Amino acid sequence: MPTVVHLDIPAEVPDRARTFYEKLFHWKFEAPPGYTDYFLSATTDEQGKPGVGLGLGKRGAPDQRITAYFDVDSIPATLPLVEQLGGKVVVPYTPIPGYGALAVCTDTENNTFGLWETHTG
C-alpha cells in the first residue's frame, strides 16, 4: 500500500521558511550535495522511528502549495492509471539523480499530489 514518504514545502524565501520550521518543530534542514537552494530533513516519531521526509525550496509557481508524495513501485506504470481514473499529470516522470524519480498529479477534485519512486541501485 503506498504511503506518504515526503512532503515538499515551497517558499518565497527558503531561509526564512527554514528558520520558521526549525524553530517551530525543531526540524534540521541540510542541503544535499549539489544543491544550494533546496534543503532536506527527516522526521522521527516520539519513539525515534523514521517518519516522513521533508524538502524545502524556492516556490516554482505562485500557486504551488505543500505537496505530499506517495511511494510507488513504478511511476511509469502508475501515471496511465491516474489518467484513466480522471486525474491529470502535471509534472511527468522526472529523474532525481542519486535519489529516485518523481511526478506530480492532480486528482478528480483538483488536489495536487506527488508520486515518488526510490532508486535502489
Secondary structure of the chain in the HEC alphabet? Answer: CCCEEEEEEEECCHHHHHHHHHHHHCCCCECCCCCCCEEEEEEECCCCCEEEEEEEEECCCCCCCCEEEEECCCHHHHHHHHHHCCCEEEEEEEEECCCEEEEEEECCCCCEEEEEEECCC
Instruction: Check whether 99 has a pLDDT greater than 70.
Output: yes
The pLDDT of residue 98: 86
Is this structure's pTM higher than 0.75?
A: yes
Q: How confident is the model at residue 121 (pLDDT cuts 50, 70, 90)?
A: low
**Residue 120 confidence (pLDDT):** 66
Whether the per-residue pLDDT at 36 is higher than 90: the answer is no
pLDDT, tens digit, for every residue of 49-97? Answer: 999 999 999 999 999 999 999 999 999 999 999 999 999 999 999 999 8
